[in-house]
């Protein structure tokens, strides 16, 4: 076989080499979903950026960060453009206790962080539905929360 025949053969049948890669990717994704479902825990994460999915204008990949036992993890989930998902929004993250690298973000309900300091000076963060925050929190506190968000983004 000369080089031209080899190149012609590869051009005709390169797609066959992609089949095992696609099967491996599918199996890995299913194993990750199964791991999350069997070892599920919940935390909150913040959307860091979004990127388009090729040829699907109604969906996007959303990259996010979340913390488990003080350690930062990153993940990526797919959401709809119509869900009004913005950078800096907080949502529930389901992750595997055994392997927090396996995670998915649920874009159904947006949350807002509320940082409180107790009498000992220890800070604690709780998360409240964003829709409830807008109704229950006075304007002066809202601006403080926005400033905290900006400070947190600047630290990262």
In DSSP notation, 8-48 reads HHHHHHHHHHHHHHHHHHHHHHHHHHHHHHHSEEEEEEEEE
Distance, CA of 66 to CA of 93 (rounded, Å): 8
Band of pLDDT at residue 44, cut at 50, 70 and 90: very high
Distance CA 37, CA 40 (A): 5
Strand partners for 105:
93
Identify which has the larger pLDDT, 106 or 33.
106
Tell me which of 49-63, 71-85, 87-101 is least confident: 49-63
Q: In whole numbers, what is the pLDDT of the chain averaged over residues?
A: 85
> Could you give the CA distance from residue 107 to residue 94 in angstroms, rounded to a whole number?
11
pTM of the model: 0.69
């Amino acid at each position: 076989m000369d080089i031209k025949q080899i190149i012609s053969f590869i051009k005709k049948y390169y797609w066959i080499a992609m089949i095992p890669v696609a099967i491996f990717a599918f199996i890995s994704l299913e194993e990750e979903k199964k791991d999350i479902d069997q070892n599920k825990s919940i935390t909150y994460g913040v959307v860091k950026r979004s990127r388009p999915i090729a040829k699907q204008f109604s969906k996007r990949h959303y990259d996010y960060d979340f913390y488990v036992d003080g350690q930062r993890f990153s993940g990526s989930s797919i959401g709809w453009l119509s869900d009004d998902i913005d950078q800096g929004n907080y949502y529930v993250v389901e992750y595997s206790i055994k392997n927090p690298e396996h995670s998915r973000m649920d874009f159904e309900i947006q949350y807002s962080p509320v940082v409180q300091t107790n009498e000992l000076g220890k800070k604690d963060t709780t998360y409240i539905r964003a829709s409830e925050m807008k109704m229950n929190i006075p304007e002066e506190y809202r601006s403080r929360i926005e400033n905290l968000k900006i400070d947190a983004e600047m630290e990262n």
